[in-house]
Amino acid sequence: MLTGSDLLVKVKELGDVSKSELVRSCGYVSTRKDGAERLNFTAFYEALLEAKGISLGDGGGKGVGKGGRRLSYTATVQGNGNLLVGKAYTALLDLNPGDEFEIKLGRKVIRLVPVGAADEEE
């Protein structure tokens, strides 16, 4: 599994390939008990964020929000029914005003998929 600058170079080198191919090419693959391939998207994205200098671990103690508050990685439905994802989270993902997402609903699950991105299963 590639990490650090090697990971960043490989991602840039691969350019516009599918997410699955990107994860596979960077070595984030394991084998299930039944012999099937499993792509480790979470480990890949955590390594990618760390390579870009963004730490999601508890080691630093600082969050991205104001006043150094830690991110809780939870959201609460507000009284008016809205579910808010704060600026600190969108900053971690380098999202910009105007970025659009498709809302995918599952059983008690909400997934946001960037418009135009292939819907890859994890």
Arithmetic mean of pLDDT, 2-12: 91
Arithmetic mean of pLDDT, 50-57: 77
Q: How many domains does the chain have?
A: 2
Q: What percent of the chain has pLDDT over 90?
A: 32
* Domain shared by 11 and 42, yes or no: yes
pLDDT at 62: 45
Q: Give the CATH number of the domain where residue 100 resides.
A: 2.10.260
Query: How would you classify the pairing of strands 109-114 and 29-31?
Result: unpaired
pLDDT at 6: 92
Arithmetic mean of pLDDT, 7-33: 91
As a whole number of angstroms, the distance between CA 87 and CA 82 comes to: 15
pLDDT at 22: 93
Residue 104 in any domain: the answer is yes
* Domain hosting residue 37, numbered range: 1-54
* Domain shared by 10 and 50, yes or no: yes
Residue 122 in any domain: the answer is no
As a whole number of angstroms, the distance between CA 75 and CA 80 comes to: 14
* Domain shared by 46 and 64, yes or no: no
pTM value is 0.46
